[in-house]
Chains A and B, each alone.
Chain A
Amino acid sequence: MLKLLRFEFRRIIKSVFFWIITAYSFVMPVLTAFIYRALITLDLDDGIKFTAVNLSKDELTFLTWMIAVSFITDLPKFVALFTCLHLGRDYTDGIVRNKIIAGHSRGAIYGSYMITQMAASVFLCCIYMFSALFGLVISGIGAYLNGGEMFVRFGVAIIVFLVMTVAFVVLALIFRRRALPLILCILIAVMSNGVGAVIGSFNTPSKAVDDYIRIRHEKYEEMIEAGLIDEDTVEDLEDKYDKDSYLGVAWKLFHPVYVVSPIGFEGDYQAGGVTNLVSGAAEYTDEIDFSVNFIMQAMYSGDVSPVTPHDLKKVDSMHLSYAKNNLIYIGKSVAWMAVIGTWGFLVFRKKNLF
């Protein structure tokens, strides 16, 4: 196994494409930092001028996170391409055959590919992340890592990224035709951004909806007692804005996917870059606050809900700390890596691929 690892690491080090991606991982976040520097300090009041950077700590924390974690949306397509071309070459050039003939077990060969590709992914993510921090600092914006806590979330992001890498490796190894895994991997990489954001938006737990409806009912009761609303109106409103109106068909479809997979990372961790800025979810918080969903929905619907954010503040189901969510994502990611990796191994071992 060690010989194969040495072999594969040498191949990666000698790969021109790998170093191109590495260069991209270094340049892109630095460039992004400078673009943000220009955007947030651009003053067009009197010609084109740039003012001094004046960000609050919260804004700086979010910007640091947003730019540095962008590897999770930016790198998958490159890693997919690299994995398929790099491992594909071993098939087309017959090197996998060489390894088997030399006497290496298929398990060792599979393991060496998996380990080295995962290591390459971690390396690229780290380059991207540290380049982002470097770029933020040299662009004059500065960086704030929330007392180092942000590194834990970077770690979670890398582990989620590794699930994709494992999937790419498996796809690259189980098909004899070389074009198919390439298409599939690129498709996964490109779609992961959008799908991640969509799936992540269905993160509201069922219990939170139950609690919201219960609290809303208590509030309506108080309003009825105070003579502010009559019982029939409340009944109509509660019928119209029942649990199903909050958790529709899409929720029923996508929430299970969200629960069992790490696909919702982008939504949960606001790792969607500019998407988050546009959607207004531009905060680096200590917890995921589901109550926002209810307040927002009430605001944009006919639900004249008397529930305020304050009422939901101490409801457990409305909040999920990132400390807990980190563990959930690590658990889900490790489980998926094990499932995908084991399935890939079984196919690789049995299928006549060489």
Chain B
Amino acid sequence: MTENKDYVIKVNEVSKDYGKFRALDSMSFTVPKGSIYGLVGRNGAGKTTIMRVISGLQKPTSGTVEYGFDHKKLGKVGALVELPSIYSNQTARENLVFQYINLGLKIDGSIEESLNLVGLGNTGKKKAGKFSLGMRQRLGIAMAMSGNPEVLILDEPINGLDPQGIIQIRDLLIRLNREKGVTIIISSHILSELSKLATDFAFVEGGKVVKEIKAESLEDAGGLVTEFYSGTPERLIPVLNAKGLTTTFDPQSGIVFAKGYYNLTNVVIAANEAGVNIARVVTKETDLETYFVKLVGGGSNA
């Protein structure tokens, strides 16, 4: 029975030791239901380890993982950790048939639906071993999706993919999240991609979550900041506000700071119509990567 909780997974003070090495150090975070939860951190920060613990591949040395659903029911957790787990000598369909048997599901037309959903509906008798990396990843996701999991755990799902593959995976995940309501926990080195997907972020460093933040809050904390240089800032500010930008004015330098994303052409046209002359525009973006570097310091080895 699915429990009615607002979270899908709650990690409580989880530690994991490998001999003398502490991979996770009292890590805690909560994954809200329906979110796309991005785990950001350097190599060796503990992202994969916590994903392995959550997916049941490893037991924590201490601490607990609470599930907001009946996780003991077969297939309620779907995961793609490290590499896609697929039989390379079988076709995409046969791999899904195996996964259906694994989960005790009825082998029916939903297999074809899943294949079509991930764009592998036309692979026919081609063995998975001959698939491109992107196709393997998508098959791995299709397999992880079998049994309608409450949560999908994806460790570096776009790693090594070409731009086309990245777009396909991104679109697929967004669709799964929005259309099927699947909560997704995802880690990726490509922070720009992660920022396009995730609704929530956890920054992992030294086996701990150093910061949990919502995507909107991240935008507030950073996002795009534009410096407008104009001889008539008092007339420019209402124009910018009308375009949905938050403005601040520095009387000393005479610069108007505007926060938020906008279409520059529209702003320039609106300013021109209001009789405002814009002399210069400088944009500075605080993206996920910048935020991460500021947070944990050092190189952005995420």
Interface: A20 (CB within 8 A)? no
Question: Which of B18, B56, B86, B90 meets A101, CB within 8 Å?
Answer: B56
- A3-B103, A101-B57, A101-B77 known; A10+B98 contact, CB < 8 A: yes
Interface: A217 (CB within 8 A)? no
- A3-B74, A97-B85 known; A11+B98 contact, CB < 8 A: yes
Question: Which of A10, A93, A101 meets B88, CB within 8 Å?
Answer: A93
Interface: A7 (CB within 8 A)? yes
Interface: B188 (CB within 8 A)? no
Interface: B199 (CB within 8 A)? no
Question: Which of B57, B76, B88, B101 meets A97, CB within 8 Å?
Answer: B57
A residues contacting the other copy or chain, number (CB 8 A):
21
A188 shortest CB reach to chain B, Å: 26
Decide if B102 touches A98 in the complex (CB within 8 Å): yes
Smallest Cβ-Cβ distance to B77: which chain A residue: A101
Decide if A4 touches B85 in the complex (CB within 8 Å): no
**Contact partners of B71 in chain A: CB under 8 A:** 103
Interface: A207 (CB within 8 A)? no
Decide if A3 touches B104 in the complex (CB within 8 Å): yes
**Contact partners of A93 in chain B: CB under 8 A:** 85-88
Decide if A94 touches B83 in the complex (CB within 8 Å): yes
**Contact partners of A352 in chain B: CB under 8 A:** 18, 58
Q: In chain A between 336 and 354, which residues have their CB closer than 8 angstroms to a CB of chain B? A: 352, 354
Decide if B101 touches A6 in the complex (CB within 8 Å): yes
**Contact partners of B94 in chain A: CB under 8 A:** 14
A11 and B89 CA atoms in complex are apart in Å by 11
Interface: A104 (CB within 8 A)? yes
B92 shortest CB reach to chain A, Å: 14
Interface: B207 (CB within 8 A)? no
A95 and B71 CA atoms in complex are apart in Å by 19
A231 and B98 CA atoms in complex are apart in Å by 81
Could you tell me the dominant secondary structure of chain A's interface residues?
helix
Decide if B58 touches A4 in the complex (CB within 8 Å): no
A307 and B126 CA atoms in complex are apart in Å by 75
**Contact partners of B99 in chain A: CB under 8 A:** 98, 102
Question: Which of A14, A94, A99 meets B102, CB within 8 Å?
Answer: A99
A204 shortest CB reach to chain B, Å: 50
Interface: A100 (CB within 8 A)? yes
Smallest Cβ-Cβ distance to A93: which chain B residue: B87
Interface: A89 (CB within 8 A)? yes
Decide if A94 touches B85 in the complex (CB within 8 Å): yes
- A93-B87, A97-B57, A101-B77 known; A10+B101 contact, CB < 8 A: yes
Interface string of B135-166 (1 = CB under 8 A from A): 00000000110010000000000000000000
Interface: B73 (CB within 8 A)? yes
Decide if B76 touches A103 in the complex (CB within 8 Å): yes
Interface string of A245-272 (1 = CB under 8 A from B): 0000000000000000000000000000
**Contact partners of B194 in chain A: CB under 8 A:** none
Q: In chain B between 68 and 82, which residues have their CB closer than 8 angstroms to a CB of chain A? A: 71-79, 81-82
Decide if A104 touches B74 in the complex (CB within 8 Å): yes
- The residue in A6, A10, A102, A103 that gathers the most chain B C-beta atoms within 10 A of its C-beta is A102
Decide if A95 touches B74 in the complex (CB within 8 Å): no
- Residues in chain B within 8 A of chain A (CB atoms): 18, 55-58, 71-79, 81-90, 94, 98-99, 101-104, 143-144, 147
Q: 18 A-B residue contacts at CB 8 Å?
A: A3-B104, A7-B101, A11-B98, A97-B57, A98-B143, A101-B57, A101-B77, A101-B78, A101-B79, A101-B81, A101-B144, A102-B99, A102-B102, A103-B71, A103-B75, A103-B77, A104-B74, A354-B57
